[in-house]
């Protein structure tokens, strides 16, 4: 090489490296980044007629093309069907040996591809066409920080442009740049998963702290009234004793609902919420829950409104009772001034729809969006604390959806809320014996 042509060659190398480095610093997802860089290489590196980056997929144990470019080959995209095993063809061998190779003429390429499986050979000939044999190939393993990612392959079409040993250091530099970009993407995705795991841990710890606090609140009240009743030096009137016992009962009820929601929520998380279907009379279930709840409040009036011919549904009565408990309990809790709570049943074929309406504090449109999310609680504008875990509605939603139904809410701040849920009737035969007949 004369000193003039050596200089031109080096200037060209510098130009290619600058262009490739510029492309690699762009912030975009790895597949797009590699596609852009391959396009740049084939565009600016004169002898290369096509290039492909094949990455090792450890989950499937194969190499797959991740990015490719070769404007002279109209079917190059066919390479996407390539799936090379360990040690197979040029890619497999170069990756296994960890060393770059130059195949400087067509015969060397044929020999290096001797063990390629027929389906992959077919893909190659479809992609490159049989009328334009490659004059040379260079294949370089992609390594960074001790990780091997795959192989970069560049090919030429004309023998006068074939790759030779003098091209090797430069192609190696290109491969190192590409490997660094892949390593950067790997580290970014690792950092992201660590961040996500930390965030999930933090949320779990916060939720646990709130939960323990909320569970301790009714316990404190129960203990306080028990201590008062047991005080030897005070003799409480029968009415006072009755009042204390009622408060204890109400707090026990709260505690039971919360613990049941915590346990159900854990079952839902691990996908173990099971349903035991049977024919159910929803108005009867609602009635039972209303009886439980009405004794806990004398400022709320809870009424049922079901048509006489309300149909049976196929459902799990214990789980649906929990849904009624959670929603009616909320209707009472979030109506601190008292008022009417109306439970209405209607048939909207092919479903039945139940609504529970209260005259309480209501929910703003922004808070209606995350209402059914785990641990979501509306921040009280008055600062007045109403005990709760933020699990009642998510548990209700999981139970209703497991039945194939839907749950939703309508509300206006200061004007009360209505919670709705629908359940499919699932074509029950009317002759089936209901559990709560």
Spatial separation of the C-alpha atoms in residues 287 and 343, rounded to whole Å: 9
> How many Cβ atoms are within 10 Å of 74's Cβ, its own excluded?
10
Work out how close the CB of 369 gets to ligand ADP at its nearest, in angstroms, rounded to a whole number: 11
- Of 85 and 217, nearer to ligand ADP (C-beta) is 217
- Verify binding: residue 54, ligand ADP, rule CB under 6 A: no
Of 83-91, 96-104, 347-355, 372-380, which segment contacts ligand ADP by CB under 6 A? 372-380
DSSP string, 27-50: ---HHHHHHHHHHHHHHHSTT-SE
Query: What gap in Å lies between CA 351 and CA 401, rounded to an integer?
Result: 13
Contact call for residues 226 and 251 (beta carbons, < 8 A): no
- Which lies closer to ligand ADP via its Cβ, residue 116 or residue 268? 268
x/- binding map, residues 325-344, to ligand ADP, per CB under 6 A? -x---xx--x----------
Question: x/- site string to ligand ADP, residues 279 to 318, per CB under 6 A?
Answer: ----------------------------------------
Report, in Å, the least distance between residue 258 CB and ligand ADP.
7
Q: Which two tokens stand for residue 372?
A: 């059914």
According to CB under 6 A, which one of 47, 92, 388, 405 is a site residue for ligand ADP?
A: 388
Check binding of 148 to ligand ADP (CB under 6 A). Answer: no
Whats the size of the chain, residue-wise?
A: 437
Window 8 to 47, contacts with ligand ADP (CB under 6 A): none
390 binds ligand ADP (CB under 6 A): yes
CB 393 within 8 A of CB 326: yes
* Minimum CB distance to ligand ADP smaller for 123 or for 378: 378
Cα radius of gyration (the chain): 35
Q: CB under 6 A: which stretch of 18-26, 79-87, 247-255, 370-378 binds ligand ADP?
A: 370-378
Structure tokens at 308: 């006489």
Q: Residue 375 and residue 258: Cα distance in Å, rounded?
A: 12
376 binds ligand ADP (CB under 6 A): yes
Give Cα separations from 247 to 200, 222, 226 (angstroms): 37, 8, 10
Distance of closest approach, residue 253 Cβ to ligand ADP, in angstroms = 13
| H-run or E-run covering 57 | strand 50-57
Closest to ligand ADP by CB, 190 vs 373, is 373
DSSP helix/strand/coil, 345: strand
Q: Is the Cβ of residue 37 or residue 363 nearer to ligand ADP in the bound state?
A: 363
Tokens of 27: 């912030």
Residues 405-424 that bind ligand ADP (CB under 6 A): 417
What's the min distance (Å) between Cβ of 210 and ligand ADP?
10
Q: What's the min distance (Å) between Cβ of 332 and ligand ADP?
A: 9
Peptide bond into 7 cis (omega under 30): no
136, two tokens: 């040379």
- Nearer CB in complex with ligand ADP: 244/375: 375
Does residue 40 contact residue 19 with C-beta atoms inside 8 Å? yes
User: Where does this chain bind ligand ADP (CB under 6 A)?
Assistant: 326, 330-331, 334, 358, 360-361, 363, 371, 376-378, 388-394, 417
């Amino acid at each position: 090489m004369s000193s003039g042509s050596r200089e031109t060659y080096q200037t060209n190398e510098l130009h290619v490296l600058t262009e490739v480095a510029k492309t690699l610093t762009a912030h975009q997802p790895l597949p797009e980044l590699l596609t852009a860089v391959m396009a740049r290489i084939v565009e600016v590196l004169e002898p290369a007629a096509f290039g492909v980056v094949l990455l090792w997929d450890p989950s499937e144990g194969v190499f797959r093309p991740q990015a490719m470019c070769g404007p002279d080959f109209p079917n190059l995209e066919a390479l996407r069907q390539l799936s090379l095993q360990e040690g197979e063809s040029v890619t497999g061998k170069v990756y296994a040996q960890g060393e770059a190779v130059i195949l400087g003429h067509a015969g060397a390429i044929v020999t290096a591809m001797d063990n390629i499986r027929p389906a992959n050979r077919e893909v190659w000939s479809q992609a490159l066409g049989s009328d334009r044999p490659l004059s040379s190939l260079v294949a370089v393993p992609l390594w960074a920080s001790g990780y091997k990612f795959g192989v970069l392959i560049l090919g030429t079409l004309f023998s006068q442009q074939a790759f030779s040993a003098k091209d090797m250091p430069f192609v190696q530099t290109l491969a190192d740049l590409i490997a660094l970009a892949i390593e950067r993407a790997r580290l970014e995705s690792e950092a992201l998963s660590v961040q996500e795991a930390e965030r999930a841990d933090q949320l779990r710890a916060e939720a646990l702290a709130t939960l323990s606090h909320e569970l301790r609140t009714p316990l404190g009240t129960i203990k306080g009234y028990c201590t008062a009743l047991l005080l030897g030096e005070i003799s409480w009137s029968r009415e006072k004793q009755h009042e204390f016992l009622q408060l204890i009962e109400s707090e026990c009820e709260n505690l039971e609902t919360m613990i049941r929601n915590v346990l159900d929520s854990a079952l839902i998380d691990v996908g173990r919420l099971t349903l035991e279907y049977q024919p159910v009379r929803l108005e009867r279930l609602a009635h039972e829950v209303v009886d439980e709840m009405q004794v806990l409040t004398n400022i709320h009036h809870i009424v049922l409104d079901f048509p006489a011919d309300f149909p049976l549904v196929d459902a799990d009565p214990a789980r649906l009772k929990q849904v009624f408990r959670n929603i009616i309990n909320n209707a009472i809790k979030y109506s601190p001034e008292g008022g009417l709570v109306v439970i209405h049943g209607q048939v909207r074929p092919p479903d039945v729809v139940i609504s529970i309406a209260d005259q309480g504090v209501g929910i703003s449109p922004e808070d209606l969006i995350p209402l059914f999310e785990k641990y979501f609680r509306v921040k009280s504008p008055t600062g007045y604390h109403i005990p709760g875990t933020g699990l009642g509605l998510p548990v209700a939603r999981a139970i209703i959806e497991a039945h194939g139904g839907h749950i939703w809410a309508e509300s206006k701040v200061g004007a009360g809320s209505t919670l709705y849920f629908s359940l499919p009737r699932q074509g029950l035969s009317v002759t089936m014996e209901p559990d709560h007949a």
